[in-house]
Amino acid sequence: MFIRRALLARLFTPLRLALLATGLVLTFPAIGAEAVTTAFGPLEAAQPLTARGLAERIRQDGAHEVARMLTREREWPRVRRAVAAGWENWIALLPDLIPAADQATGRALQGALRRALPRNPRAVLAILDRTNSAELGGRTICAPVAEPASWRPRALTAIRGVHDIHLIDQGADCLHALEEVP
Domain ranges of the chain: 45-180
pLDDT for residue 182 = 59
What is the C-alpha separation between 77 and 64, in angstroms, rounded? 17
Q: What angle do CA 10, 12, 14 make, to 5 degrees?
A: 85
pLDDT for residue 132 = 77
Residues in the chain, pLDDT under 70: 1-47, 181-182
Size (the chain), residues: 182
User: What separation in angstroms does the CA of 44 have from each of 27, 54, 66?
Assistant: 16, 14, 15
What is the C-alpha separation between 117 and 131, in angstroms, rounded? 19
What is the C-alpha separation between 169 and 173, in angstroms, rounded? 6
pLDDT for residue 154 = 96
Which amino acid is located at 137 in the chain?
Answer: G
pLDDT for residue 162 = 96
